[in-house]
Amino acid sequence: MKKTLLVLAALVASVTFHVTSAQEQPSPEQQAADAAATRQAVFKLLGFNIGPIIAMTRGAPFDAELAERNARRIAAMAPMIPELFAAMDTRGYAVETKALDLIWDNMDDFERKAQDLVDSANEFATVAAGGDMAATLGAVRGLGGTCGNCHEAYHEDDD
């Protein structure tokens, strides 16, 4: 019994310690670097998921299930784009980024372009679910176009 209490006390102490350390705020510079890294991770995952779909238009074996699954993932992740940019305005911090400053002056439009991606990814997924190769491959351009639309306006290399 006494031993159990001791173990419990040690556990509580260790949990308390972790909660206390988590409360120590990182510096604003660190928060900005983290914010940029997190949004870039989402974009990398978008790229990871669209990659095999684009490969199918270039001769990789057609796989309707994979195309639908990856498009659904893209639709699920896209709303995180404006959320992450709204969570922290990293203008004014020396972060590694290709995001143009005007994003934060045009959040409504930025959000609309992310919603376009949700819509086009869901539309693509519906076509892919039909299993028709020609129709699915024909719809890839529409999906990729919504990535490109936002990059044209808000990504440094593509404006």
- Chain residues in the site for ligand HEC (CB under 6 A): 36, 39-40, 43-44, 46-47, 50, 74, 81, 97-99, 110, 113-114, 117, 146-147, 150-151, 154-155
**Nearer to ligand HEC among residue 6 and residue 55 (C-beta):** 55
How far is residue 159's CA from residue 157's CA, in Å, rounded to a whole number?
6
Give me 71's structure tokens.
């498009």
How far is residue 150's CA from residue 116's CA, in Å, rounded to a whole number?
9
From residue 68, alpha-carbon distances to 46, 123, 132 in Å are 14, 10, 12
C-beta of 43: minimal distance to ligand HEC in Å?
3
C-beta of 9: minimal distance to ligand HEC in Å?
45
| Residues counted in the chain | 159
**Nearer to ligand HEC among residue 34 and residue 132 (C-beta):** 34
How far is residue 80's CA from residue 25's CA, in Å, rounded to a whole number?
23
**Nearer to ligand HEC among residue 62 and residue 93 (C-beta):** 93
CA-nearest of 86, 70, 72, 78 to 114 is 78
C-beta of 41: minimal distance to ligand HEC in Å?
8
C-beta of 60: minimal distance to ligand HEC in Å?
17
**Nearer to ligand HEC among residue 56 and residue 114 (C-beta):** 114
